[in-house]
Amino acid sequence: MNQISSKDSFRPHVFGDDSRRQFDSCYPEQAGLLDHQMASHELLTLDALAELGTALPASSVEYNPGDLPVGIKPEDVPGNVLTIGDTIRMIDQSASWAVLKNIEQMPEYEALLLSLLAEIRPILEAKTGQMLKPQGFIFVSSPDAVTPYHFDPEHNILLQLRGEKWMTTFPAGNARYAPDEIHEGYHLGGHRNLVWQDEFEAEGTRHHLTPGKAIFVPVMAPHFVKVGPEPSISLSITWRSDWSFEEADARAFNGWLRKRGLNPRAPGRFPARNRAKAFAWRVLRKLGG
């Protein structure tokens, strides 16, 4: 991982002592709200983000209409007629949802990402080992936009910077909210969107995010997001661990077994390790199996 510059070591912490203690109490398996002191930043204005969206490779930009149902299928998501730059600059009226992926491809955004992760790195590495594959994502959403029900393979802290949103989370590893077959399909190349059932909404935990609030979301914890009545900007800082990669590879191996008529046991969640199945999948992958 790249080194943090000396000037970053003198800037005030974005995550204070109380927030780091809260993060320590919920990491890695419980979703939880944190406070942050991420003031306005020149890299996070709408104009700066519009320029970033234009500069990033097309594969690192996703933007869709924001007036989507929570449980929409991937193939039913309509396209967007605006460019990414116009979508972001006109976010208050474009009725859209945009995500800029892997912002660390740009040096100035990489520095921002690494400076934030440096504040929590000792806590997370004490539990899940070396912090791997740091990545950043920025979400720019029109009023009332919806991010459909899905899960993500990274450890994730999402910082709310502008506007408000409500994120509803569900327990990671609970097959009621994301069946084992869906996990396996995702790790074999499928989509991250999940099958929604209306009765789920009353069973999830609803978190209110406003500027100055952040939320830690565990690996593969199902969730969906609804934006409030004003445009929203959120910054997501993510990382992987050996444990998360083992869980992912074990899921893929289980999918390989299921296709061959077996009914494999789901991988264990933290602190359980999944070394045997992960190793088996890595061998199969090398052999082209």
Contacts 24+ apart (CB under 8 A), 80-85: 83/54, 84/50, 84/53, 84/54, 85/50, 85/51, 85/53, 85/54
CB count in 10 Å sphere of residue 61? 21
Helix (H) or strand (E) holding 245: helix 242-258
Would you give per-residue pLDDT tens digits along the chain (289 residues)?
444 343 444 467 999 999 999 999 999 999 999 999 997 899 999 999 999 999 999 999 998 765 556 665 665 555 566 789 999 999 988 888 899 999 999 999 999 999 999 999 999 999 999 999 999 999 999 999 988 999 999 999 999 999 999 999 999 999 999 999 999 999 999 999 999 999 999 999 999 999 999 999 999 999 999 999 999 999 999 999 999 999 999 999 999 999 999 999 999 999 999 999 999 999 999 998 6
Residue with tokens 């209306």: 198
* CA–CA distances in Å: residue 284 to residues 183, 185, 187, 267: 19, 17, 14, 18
Burial class of residue 127 (count of CB atoms within 10 Å of its CB; 0-12, 13-18, 19+): middle
CB count in 10 Å sphere of residue 269? 18
